[in-house]
Structures are given as C-alpha cells and as structure tokens.
C-alpha cells in the first residue's frame, strides 16, 4: 500500500514571497507519478504540477516548481511570487499504474493563506 504524508496542516506566506509545501510518500512501486493539486474555496480540484518518477529533472509550471528527491521519497512544492489567488488547500498525491489498474492516493492537505 502507498501512503502520502503532508506534515503541515496550515501555512501562510506574505504576498510576493516564496513558500514551500512539504510532502513525503511511500510506495514499493518503481514506476509512479506525483501530483500537486490546488482546491480553492470554489471547490474545483486543479492539477498544479505533475512529476514522473523516472524523470530526474524537477517539474516546473510558471511560478510553481517541485523539489523531487526520489531516494528520500520527498516531493515538495515551491510557490514563487505568491499571489492572493494562490490561497487554497493543496493536496499532494501519488499515482501508481499497474496493468491498467490505477491507484491514486492523496495526502491530508495543507491550507495555504496569503497575507496581503
């Protein structure tokens, strides 16, 4: 079974500053994918960034980047130049895909507050 742990229930950051959200995971699979999702008050679940485990290069999407440490099973999200619209719940997730059976496991989430 795989697990995803987010040890920070809440985080806050000053607008325009940088914040890092932590995530660790555990899986016995060698082939998996990692995601960060954003859930704003509107309750949409937006996929922010995706990382394939076989890729060594850290994924980047505009102001969002990850620090993927495969050996340490760590997958943190860095948000640069924080904006008020970044305020949301952030979920880390791990997907394993095994012969067409896919298992997606989420962390408990981190609530990010942006201070104007």
Partner 1 sequence: ETGVTQTPRHLVMGMTNKKSLKCEQHLGHNAMYWYKQSAKKPLELMFVYSLEERVENNSVPSRFSPECPNSSHLFLHLHTLQPEDSALYLCASSSSYRAPFDSSYEQYFGPGTRLTVT
Please, which residue, 16 or 104, has the CB nearer to partner 1?
A: 104
Please, which residue, 6 or 13, has the CB nearer to partner 1?
A: 6
Please report whether residue 113 would count as binding partner 1 according to CB under 8 A: no
Minimum CB–partner distance for residue 89 and partner 1 (Å): 9
Please report whether residue 95 would count as binding partner 1 according to CB under 8 A: yes
What is the C-alpha to C-alpha distance for residues 1 and 70, in angstroms, rounded to an integer? Answer: 18
- How many residues in the shown chain lie near partner 1 by CB under 8 A? 22
Please report whether residue 112 would count as binding partner 1 according to CB under 8 A: no
Closest CA to 79 of 2, 11, 20: 20
Burial class of residue 23 (count of CB atoms within 10 Å of its CB; 0-12, 13-18, 19+): buried
Closest CA to 40 of 92, 113, 115: 113
Of the ranges 10-18, 68-76, 79-87, 104-112, which one interacts with partner 1 (CB under 8 A)?
104-112
Phi then psi for 83, rounded to 5 degrees?
-120, 160
- CB contact at 8 A, 4 and 107: yes
* Footprint of partner 1 on 21-50 (CB under 8 A): 33, 35, 39, 43-47, 49-50
Binding residues vs partner 1 (CB under 8 A): 4, 33, 35, 39, 43-47, 49-50, 91, 93, 95, 102-109
């Amino acid at each position: 079974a795989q697990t995803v742990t987010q040890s920070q229930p809440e985080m806050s950051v000053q607008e325009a500053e940088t914040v890092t959200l932590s995530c660790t995971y555990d899986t016995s699979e060698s082939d998996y994918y990692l995601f960060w999702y954003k859930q704003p008050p509107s309750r949409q679940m937006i996929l922010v960034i995706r990382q394939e485990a076989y890729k060594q290069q850290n994924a980047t999407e505009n102001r969002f980047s990850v620090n993927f440490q495969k050996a340490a099973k760590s997958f943190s999200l860095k948000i640069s130049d924080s904006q008020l619209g970044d305020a949301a719940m952030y979920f880390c997730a791990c997907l394993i895909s095994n012969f067409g059976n896919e298992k997606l496991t989420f962390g408990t989430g981190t609530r990010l507050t942006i201070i104007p």
